């Protein structure tokens, strides 16, 4: 199957570069280009891409607002958003994850990493390294203004003890392989637990499952050395 990608970036040169790179792959194609968040939402409805490669900083409606609009739209539930940011850890990325983004990449990544990231997110996985997960969640929790709950504690009662345990490991940034080693099971078994937890909680993907784990209190971020 061909991965249909929508580009959302206000820089024409970057869009052209991404288009050439993506269109050079037999399993991908660029279906449209947006210069701001409003256009990204409009083109998402028009083309129904599998993935939106979204710049987080754009004039007018930015990538954060566009991500929230796309991920909350009932008619766009199959569209995934991969955030592009100038910095590896951006203060707005945590907000984008809350809004439903499936992960992020720095604009300075190699072509191979970008293409692998697109394939990963299009396949329904999240794109979060362990370090990125911990840093983003710490920032996420440091904002008292964010009071919305994606998964209240009682909702976790639908999970089995093992599913809650696996969800906690996922929230701490561990890969399926790492979790399998800790629990002495196969990575496939871990993947099954993760997907069952996602299904029961209505999580779009692994990234949202991470956010739910912290919002519900299943896992709490502990700042290193008691500081930030």
DSSP letter for each residue of 93-137 = HHHHHHHT--EEEETT--HHHHHHHHHHHHTT--B--HHHHHHHH
Tell if the pTM clears 0.75, that is, is over it: no
pLDDT of residue 140: 57
Q: Rounded CA gap, 111 and 14, in Å?
A: 12
pLDDT of residue 131: 53
- Place 207 in a pLDDT band, splitting at 50, 70 and 90: confident
Q: What spatial distance separates the first Cα and last Cα of the chain, rounded to whole Å?
A: 44
Provide the 3-class DSSP secondary structure of residue 4.
strand
Q: What does the buried/exposed string (b/e) look like for 208-227 if buried means 16 or more CB atoms within 10 Å of the residue's CB?
A: bbbbbbbbbebbebeeeeee
Q: Residue 203 has what DSSP assignment?
A: -
Q: Phi first, then psi: give them for residue 142, nearest 5 degrees.
A: -80, -5
**Residue 136 scores a pLDDT above 70:** no
* Mean pLDDT, rounded, of the chain: 82
Give the mean pLDDT of 34-40: 95
Q: Rounded CA gap, 197 and 89, in Å?
A: 27
């Amino acid at each position: 199957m061909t991965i249909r990608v929508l580009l959302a970036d206000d820089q024409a040169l970057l869009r052209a570069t991404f288009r050439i790179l993506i269109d050079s792959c037999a399993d991908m194609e660029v279906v449209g280009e947006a210069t701001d968040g409003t256009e990204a939402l409009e083109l998402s409805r028009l083309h129904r891409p599998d993935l939106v490669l979204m710049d987080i900083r754009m004039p007018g409606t930015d990538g954060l607002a566009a991500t929230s609009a796309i991920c909350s739209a009932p008619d766009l539930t199959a569209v995934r958003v991969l955030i592009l940011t100038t910095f590896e850890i951006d203060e707005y990325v945590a907000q984008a994850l809350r809004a439903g983004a499936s992960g992020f990449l720095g604009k300075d990544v190699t072509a191979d990493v970008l293409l692998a990231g697109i394939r990963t997110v299009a396949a329904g996985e999240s794109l979060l390294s362990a370090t990125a997960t911990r840093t983003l969640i710490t920032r996420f929790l440091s904002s008292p203004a964010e009071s919305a709950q994606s998964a209240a504690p009682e909702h976790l009662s639908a999970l089995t003890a093992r599913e809650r345990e696996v969800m906690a490991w996922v929230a701490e940034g561990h890969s399926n392989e790492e979790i399998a080693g800790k629990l002495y099971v196969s990575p496939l078994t871990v993947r099954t637990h993760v997907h069952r937890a996602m299904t029961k909680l209505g999580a779009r993907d692994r990234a949202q499952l991470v956010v739910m784990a912290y919002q519900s209190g299943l896992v709490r971020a502990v700042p290193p050395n008691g500081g930030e």
